[in-house]
Amino acid sequence: MKSLPIALLASACLAACSQAGPASSHAPITGLIDATEIDVASKIPGRVKELSVHEGDRVTAGQTLLTIESEEMQAKLDQVQASITAAQARVRLAQAGARREEKEGARQALEAARHQLDITKKTYDRMSALLQSGAVPQAQFDEVESRYSVAKDQLAMAQARFDLVSRGARSEEIDALKALVQQGQGTLAEVQSYNKETTQTSPIQGEVTKIIVHRGELASTGYPILTIVDLDDVWASFAVREDLLAHVQKGMRIEADVPALGRRIPMEIFHVAAMGDFATWKATSDKNSFDLRSFEIRARPIQKVDGLRPGMTIRWSPE
């Protein structure tokens, strides 16, 4: 909802003219009709592709107003969906484990490592006995001992490889991959929520009063594209000098004339607030002089009035 600053300023000026003379409880006060207005804007930038309404059209809540074309959002959506697909494939690969050919290769490598260890162990045992009897030099024994140590390490590596392909990925690795999928799905939900902004619907029932961005033009983030006024929520706004507030209080019922409709309307005051410095009154006498403030008085029709529109003049005489 937004107010109408220009209309409010005009109302204050009209009130100043009508109340410029000596204070009188019967002096008529001129005000203006105002209403709730909604600016329709998008969270994402883009080009207005289609406008489904025109100025003056009545719209209902949820009715499609316009569509925005955003190639960047579509590209981001495709990117996020591709990352989710890749993460899901990695999860399935980890859960399925190694292929049959990989498992068979690991088993054969393990058997070869065991066979190599058996051979080197026999050679090591023979060379150890010969070394004790002094039949072979120490250097030759050291070479055999080194080959035996390497064979044991190769067997351990082959065993670890076989165990890895047999058991598959650890549960922690699978959980980490699943977390990547969930992260991608969260990003997708965020992008989809922004992508919904490409279609703008009416948040209220009302009338389109102004189209700011037309078809083919670029709409910026948060910048109003069109304005809708709620004709079911109208009120009158009066600028009242503070020395007349004795005749005004919230909840008070009044009757005001609407020249455009040629009738008097019963209303109820629901808002009293000080206006800006532009509406300050100056004292007319130097003796005991002080500035008089202007207050905005808002009154709402007790019953719905057909034809009552923002911008109409309304006059009220305080009693």
Supply the pLDDT for residue 74: 82
Is the pLDDT at 18 greater than 50, yes or no?
A: no
Average pLDDT, the chain: 82
Lowest mean per-residue pLDDT among 23-37, 64-78, 227-241: 23-37
Crossing angle of helices 71-96 and 171-195, rounded to 10°:
160
Global pTM reads 0.60
- Dist CA 64 CA 77 (whole Å): 23
Point out which residues pair with 298 in neighbouring strands: 237, 271
92 vs 278, residue with greater confidence: 92
Listed in sequence order, the residues at least 6 apart from 90 whose beta carbon sits closer than 8 Å to its beta carbon are 177, 180
Check residue 280 and report its DSSP letter: P
**pLDDT band at residue 287, thresholds of 50, 70 and 90?**
very low
Supply the pLDDT for residue 238: 92
Q: Please tell me the CATH code under which domain 5-41+224-316 is placed.
A: 2.40.30.170
- Dist CA 245 CA 12 (whole Å): 15
Supply the pLDDT for residue 6: 45
Supply the pLDDT for residue 20: 43
- Dist CA 96 CA 163 (whole Å): 15
Q: How far is CA 187 from CA 76, 193, 257, in A?
A: 10, 10, 57
- Dist CA 195 CA 285 (whole Å): 64
Supply the pLDDT for residue 140: 84
Is the pLDDT at 135 greater than 50, yes or no?
A: yes
**In terms of residues, how long is the chain?**
319
Is the pLDDT at 161 greater than 60, yes or no?
A: yes
- Dist CA 257 CA 314 (whole Å): 6
For the chain, where do the domains classified as CATH 2.40.30.170 start and end? 5-41+224-316
3-state helix, strand, coil in the chain (%, to 5): 45, 25, 30
Point out which residues pair with 59 in neighbouring strands: 206
